[in-house]
A and B are shown apart, each in its own frame.
Chain A
Amino acid sequence: MIQYIIRRVLYAFPLLLGVNILTFVLFFVVNSPEDMARMQLGHKHVTEQAVENWKQQRGYHLPLLWNAEAGGAGKVTETIFFQKSAGLFWFDFGISDSDRRNIGADIKQRMWPSLAVALPTLVLGLITNICVALLMVLFRRSYLEFGGIVLCVVLMSVSSLFYIIGGQFFIGKVLKLVPISGYDGGLQALKFIVLPIVIGVLSGIGSGARWYRTLFLEEVEKDYVRTARAKGLSETQVLFRHVLKNAMIPILTGVVVVLPLLFMGSLIMESFFSIPGLGSYTIDAINSQDFAIVRSMVFLGSVLYIFGLLLTDISYTLVDPRVRLS
């Protein structure tokens, strides 16, 4: 087991290196730091000196891959690749382009609000979807199931933006139950995160419940379920004791892979509800064209995803005794 985990962690390195090279090519080779400086400073009426200064202040004045002027190890380390891209490996995110803040500190501070919204959304959404799907399977081949399927397709066809706008309008503005948007520290945050969580759960029901329903239906057809029924177990007992337990394997592994990514938060949710999490941080960075932050978030996202894959493999062995890691 431990051997397997070590091997997987080692395998993560080439993947991260690939991500790193990809972002490096995207951000520094396709567009030179010169272009970025001009983009930030505006295209017209900008002097060479201003561009140089901008690059100097942010450390973009170095050569890309090989510094011939420096001596010794400096030939490799005094370059943009080493300082800006390789630094990501030890989570040294550097400073942001627009206001030169420390990105690492910002991330540490902003990931908690993201988690406060994303984690309850995931858990409640999971419970709701499973309940709805189980109900549909329990009443299969009836009008109730048919209505459920139709409702799922309809819910799926509504853009998530409309869920948010509609929720803010009806719950926040017309009924005035909760504030429309904003955030506060401590327990005060509760009243601000309720609406995003409710909307997040609602908007996921359509596709989630439909997907779980197919998983349950596949399980219901199997032999052991028929045996359980033949033993004289009631339909609910069969569903909860046997079908649910066995269908949990694909469900759980699907959930585990996104667990680490919860820290990244949801881009749209957070910007609509102005929650100061990593999602809105990313959006702000995209809008102000802050390449340093976008680069850091791309790398962080990949690390978390690869970590999620590792967790998935481990959880397989925990929930399904048939799987042996080798």
Chain B
Amino acid sequence: MVVLWTDALIFVLLIGMIVLSVYMLRNPRMTRPLRQIGTSKTGMVSLTVLLFFVAVGLLDSMHFHSKDSNEIVSVLDQWLSPIRLHGEKTYSAPFAAHLFGKELMVLEDGGPVWAYPRLQYGGAHLDDPESELFYDVLMKASFGFIKSAIPAAIVLVLLVQKFRHRQNALISQASAKAVAWTIFWIVTLCATLLELSSYYHVLGTDKVGEDVLYQAIKSIRTGLVIGTLTTLIMLPLAIVFGILAGFFRGWVDDTIQYLYTTLNSIPSVLLIAASILVVQVYMAKNEEQFTSLIVRADMRLLFLCIILGVTSWTGLCRMLRAETLKLREMEYVQAASALGVRRRIILFRHILPNVMHIVLISVVLDFSSLVLAEAVLSYINIGVDPTTHSWGNMINGARLEMAREPVVWWSLTASFLFMFTLVLAANLFADSVRDAFDPRRMG
């Protein structure tokens, strides 16, 4: 068992989220907005997709020393070992049985020939790929689909039947059905891909012959870590400073306003770039602290989250300050202070709960922009470590291959598909959260 820094923080965050959701489920004030999300089909489907991504990310966050080699691998790596270990020599197209480029080979009679060599793993079980490949892929895919579809369908139908007649459920009948369908498709898709992956490279291989599907799946964790840990670092700063500035005014307000205007006035990309450069120098100086490649990459990821968090709390802080300024003039706060309630109690009991909807909305909204930002930052080389799997690094590596003839399109397509799904789900979910919790949108 090896616990990396980001792993530990992810699980802290997970516990926090569970506590928060239990609190929200028990709190009668939260029933109405939660039910509104529960009746929104788009909201529930996108939440399901998000939870699936989170589950993959969590599996990828449990690391241990592998028995065979002395590498640090995650549970997900272990699970995906057929894909992980089936490395080819270099580029190969999706479902290909041959390499992408021609090579000089020696025939049995000794004569050299310029041809496409067979892949070591992809389609290696076929005798004559030209004629068999299509039917074999079809067979393997339908086998994987049927193998998973039957149990998944049975379980889901039973579950839906069991909860069908429950009254007062938060989730409406229609969205429950939509969620069941989503889970069904996700499960069967995963099973089909897994079945195919042990015989083929479903999304091809990259320059060093690594399976692109594996890279894309590994990148999920990086995207999630950046989207969530940044929030974990940003939230305390934004909440404490925002509420204090709005509540106490005077010199506290002036200082905090000065602080965030200063930070805000530096273009954020430049501030991130400057900080990452500084971190790079620091890590180069203290090389002995970072024993293995994965620990080093993990530290860099953590630093990136910290830097992003420190540079991005200003927006939320400003919103919270404005809201607190409004709240402290409200009658119930005035009444509380007239009754002699201590200021600390007023802050915790009257102000904090009433700004929480802003926090919640902005956290969900920020998530997708952070995932997108990671790709851009990695492209400028100020993002995650080049050895970390991330969509930004995938794009960065594949971008120059667009100039090749014929085009190597699969790395870009894979990262596009995964990123688009995650961000779209996050955006749609954020919309339904905002509709449910923003008092201005209640109708």
Contact = CB atoms under 8 A, between A and B. Distances in A.
Contacts of A305: 264-267
Contacts of B427: 153, 156-157
Nearest to B419: A159
Contacts of B375: 159, 161
Contact of A286 (B273, B392, B399, B416): B273
Contact of B262 (A22, A27, A261, A289): A22
A26 B275 contact: yes
Given A19-B262, A160-B372, A169 B282 contact: no
B113 interface: no
Contact of A157 (B281, B282, B399, B423): B423
A30 B278 contact: yes
A43 B419 contact: no
B354 to A, nearest CB: 22
Interface in B226-282: 258-259, 261-267, 269-271, 273-275, 277-278, 280-282
| Residue from A159, A261, A271, A295 having most chain B Cβ neighbours under 10 A | A159
Interface stretch (A102-110, A131-139, A296-304): A296-304
A264 interface: yes
A302 B266 contact: yes
Nearest to B268: A301
B170 to A, nearest CB: 24
Nearest to B423: A157
Contacts, number: 123
Interface string A187-222: 000000000000000000000000000000000000
Interface string B407-443: 1000010001001100110011001000000000000
B202 interface: no
B395 interface: yes
Contact of B267 (A26, A39, A160, A298): A298
Nearest to A303: B265
Interface in B281-319: 281-282, 284-285
Contacts of A165: 395, 399, 402, 412
B381 interface: yes
A162 B265 contact: no
Contact of B284 (A39, A153, A168, A309): A39
B382 interface: yes
A153 B428 contact: yes
Interface in A157-184: 157-162, 165, 168-169, 173
Contacts of B431: 153
A52 B395 CA distance: 40
Interface string A296-326: 0110011001100100000000000000000
Q: For this complex, into which size category does the number of interface residues on chain A fall?
A: 35 or more
A158 B265 contact: no
Contact of B380 (A39, A153, A268, A291): A268
A287 interface: yes
Interface in A1-53: 14-15, 18-19, 22-23, 26-27, 30-31, 35-36, 38-39, 43
B379 interface: yes
Contacts of B347: none
Contacts of A306: 265
A131 B157 CA distance: 47
A298 B272 CA distance: 10
B424 A153 contact: yes
A26 to B, nearest CB: 5
A154 interface: yes
Nearest to B275: A26
A39 B282 CA distance: 10
Contact of A267 (B259, B372, B380, B392): B380
A271 B382 CA distance: 14
Contact of A283 (B278, B281, B380, B428): B380
Contacts of A23: 274
A169 B184 CA distance: 36
Contacts of B269: 267
A18 B258 contact: yes
A85 interface: no
Contacts of B395: 159, 161-162, 165
Nearest to B405: A173
Contacts of B80: none
B270 A298 contact: yes
9 contacts: A15-B265, A22-B263, A39-B280, A39-B281, A153-B427, A158-B416, A268-B376, A294-B274, A302-B267
Which 9 residue pairs are nearest across A and B when measured between Cβ atoms?
Answer: A18-B262, A301-B267, A157-B424, A157-B423, A302-B265, A305-B265, A31-B281, A298-B270, A286-B273
